[in-house]
Chain A
Amino acid sequence: MQSSKRKLWITFGIVVVVYLIAMVFPFFWVFVTSFKTSGEIFGTGAFRVIPKEPTLQNYITVLFEKNILNSIKNSLIVATTTTIYIIVVATFSAYAISRFHFKGKNILLGLILAVSMFPQMVVIGPVYNLFENLKWLNSYAVVLPYSTITLPMAVWILVTHFNQIPGALEESAKMDGATTFQTLYKIIFPLAAPGVFTTAIITFISAWNEFLLTITLNPNAEYHTVPVGISFLRTQFEILWGQVSAATVIVTIPTLIIVLIFQRQIVSGLTSGGVKE
């Protein structure tokens, strides 16, 4: 018994270690490459773990010539704006869905679920034409169609959270003469804050990672977000892996910080949105 248990532990240990290596290795290797010179990357030093002549040139080029900071700025603007308005809009409707009876509630929920399943490709053509007519191409107006990806998910997670808050509190608030909006602000919001916060982080990450809408609606490099900006470092004829690596390291840092600080909220948001509790 004792030895079979030890075997099991060893197997578990191996699985966990292999898994951790598989997850981390790509980042590690890109990090190493970012300090190598072009000569070393394309020459015999391609597979050397420690760069022979470590250089910061890749970082300098990417930061000051390739304007990666502008992409990060755009991503911050776009992701923050999206998060704020989506959270406001989604909180209102999730509260109504969770607390009130109304005709067509199931249809609305079905619709929200269906929209989250749409291939984004289906909305892009007409939205492109709409933006062209309104002269909104190459602007931050791109945050509006971001609602297709983020809003259904936000409503869905928030409804789950609101359903966990007992309704009795609101009943007593109502008896004391509070209006619906007062109840929402004074009672529900403070109680739902953790859930709202979780939803905000998930929304922020999905807006940060969006690719298709930005590349089609904002072809001008001045409005490129991080994913689109970085994809343009890969040109058809020459790929400067040193710069690509440096850029990857730089843009991974914000994501890393968010994950390290908010991992609990992210996991709770992911599981409440995707799994029956």
Chain B
Amino acid sequence: MRKMGVKEWLLIVPTLLLIAIFSLWPVVQSFTYTFFDYRLNNQQKAGLYLSERFNASLFNETQMYLTMFLDEDLPNIKAAGDQDRVASLNKDLSSVAQKYKNEKGVIKINKQEKTSIEQLHKNAKELVTSLNQKYKLIHKDDLPHVVNDLQKCVIPSNFIGLQGYKQALSDTRVGIALGNTLVFTIISVFLELVLGLGLALVLNKAMFGQGMIRTTSLIPWAIPTAVAALMWSYLFNGSSGIIAHLFEMVGLVDKSQDLLLSGSGAMASTILADVWKTTPYMALLLLAGLQNISKDLYEAASIDGATKIQSFFKVTLPLLKPSILVALLFRTLDAFRVFDLIYVLTGGGPGGETETMSIYAYKVMFGQTNFGYGSIIVMLMFVCVAIIAIIFVKFLGANLMERS
């Protein structure tokens, strides 16, 4: 192997850039989100504000309305003293507004500016309250609202530190989602491994039909998960789904409607759909591992008097272990982050019984547009994935890296 020159480094740069921009930077960014009460649909919280900010656009708009309303109500204000007070407030307003005339959106301001805006709000509030008590104004309802907006122009910091994590740890929905994810992952991966291994053993011996089986196996793996999920949602549905009907006839469920409408039935359905889609893939991976085991070893074992079962446990399994572990690792991680299958098949229902971590995170982030709390759920997932990966890599040892 040669040493790398400067020109050769250029070969890696595009990969590094893509990974940095679309994989690493977002992870860091998501982590940052977790420390803020960050909600896209709330003007006061739609950004990461470590210090206080000032919404200049809102201020300019509010200031315009306030002046307009006060001017229109001026004829109703009888006492000269009150008229002077209105005039002086208008003067203050326009002098502050002059300063931010050219600003747009959310800007940083210093302490002094903040105090002057808060003072302005206080004065306006006092004046409007007293005017409303004394006179019958046209804008008696609108004025307090507009004054209130003046206060909203100063955006408090939405940095919440670890509070979000505290909330998540006491959120029962997170616990349920984690439980559902674990149930789904453990049962589906276990079934896929057992069935996949059995199938691989049969295929390894089969003399005929290998090509046909391979083609048939690839189709469930190759079609989009969303399409598979939609197909199964038809087969499982209570009124016209044939599998639900079949289960009712066999006695697995009381009524075919129960399959998707009961918690355990819905979970079993998602697991079944996942097993259908990925067992063939598992079988193909394990079959490749099996075909690498030399036939001589089995011959030697049988000469030494080993039975078929003994040679399976003493020869096949130990030699297949690396293949099994690699397949298990990737399947476990895939199952743990399951999204499209459940999103399309049950949507997390009924009543959150099949809601996994991914589904919950998606609902919080894109349903409630709460990126802060959603990111916390995502980070919890991230930690779980890291733990799973570390456990597997420990078992695998050097096997994984050796491959390159």
Contact = CB atoms under 8 A, between A and B. Distances in A.
Given A227-B224, A275-B288, A259 B219 contact: yes
A102 B8 CA distance: 10
Interface in A227-246: 227-228, 230-231, 233-234, 239, 241, 244-245
Nearest to A20: B216
A236 to B, nearest CB: 9
Contacts of B280: 23
Given A16-B206, A26-B231, A118-B385, A231 B226 contact: yes
A211 B339 CA distance: 9
Interface string A262-277: 0100110011001111
Contacts of A98: 404
Interface of B: 1-5, 7-9, 11-12, 14-16, 18-19, 21-27, 29-30, 33, 198-199, 202, 205-206, 209, 212-220, 222-227, 229-235, 237, 239-240, 242, 245, 276, 280-281, 284-285, 288-289, 292, 322-323, 326-327, 330, 333, 336-337, 339-340, 343-344, 357-358, 361-362, 365-366, 371, 374-375, 378-379, 381-382, 385, 389, 399-404
A244 B234 contact: yes
Contact of B400 (A30, A113, A256): A113
A125 to B, nearest CB: 5
Contacts of B240: 41-42, 46, 241
B2 A266 contact: no
B19 A275 contact: no
A252 to B, nearest CB: 6
Contacts of A277: 288, 292, 403
17 contacts: A16-B206, A20-B213, A22-B276, A27-B219, A29-B235, A92-B14, A100-B1, A117-B333, A118-B385, A122-B378, A122-B381, A122-B382, A123-B26, A209-B224, A267-B284, A274-B285, A275-B326
Interface residues of A, number: 100
A92 B22 contact: no
B404 A120 contact: no
Given A99-B2, A100-B8, A231 B230 contact: yes
A46 B389 CA distance: 46
A82 to B, nearest CB: 11
A163 interface: yes
A23 B26 contact: no
A119 B399 contact: no
Contact of A270 (B281, B357, B385): B281
A62 interface: no
Given A227-B225, A234-B344, A270-B284, A123 B199 contact: no
A97 B365 contact: no
A221 interface: no
A96 interface: yes
Given A241-B234, A271-B285, A125 B29 contact: yes
A47 interface: yes
* Contact residues of A: prevailing secondary structure: helix
A119 B214 contact: no
B365 A89 contact: no
A175 interface: no
A127 B358 contact: no
Interface stretch (A53-61, A141-149, A191-199): A141-149
A125 B378 contact: yes
Interface in A3-35: 12, 15-16, 19-20, 22-24, 26-27, 29-30, 33
A165 interface: no
A24 B231 CA distance: 12
B330 A274 contact: yes
Nearest to B329: A117
Contacts of A119: 336-337, 358, 378, 381-382, 385
A149 B358 CA distance: 16
B330 to A, nearest CB: 6
Contact of B404 (A16, A163, A251): A163
A125 B31 CA distance: 11
Contact of B33 (A24, A115, A118, A125): A125
Most buried by A among B26, B239, B333: B26
A106 to B, nearest CB: 7
Given A100-B3, A108-B12, 17 more contacts: A15-B202, A23-B216, A46-B240, A96-B12, A98-B404, A117-B385, A122-B381, A122-B382, A125-B26, A125-B371, A148-B23, A163-B404, A211-B340, A230-B230, A234-B344, A258-B222, A276-B399
B322 A276 contact: yes
B206 A12 contact: yes
A151 interface: yes
Contacts of A212: 339-340, 362
Interface in A147-187: 147-148, 151-152, 155-156, 159-160, 163, 167, 179-181
- Shortest 10 CB-CB contacts between residues of A and residues of B: A126-B29, A271-B288, A227-B226, A123-B26, A93-B15, A227-B224, A102-B4, A126-B26, A119-B337, A46-B240
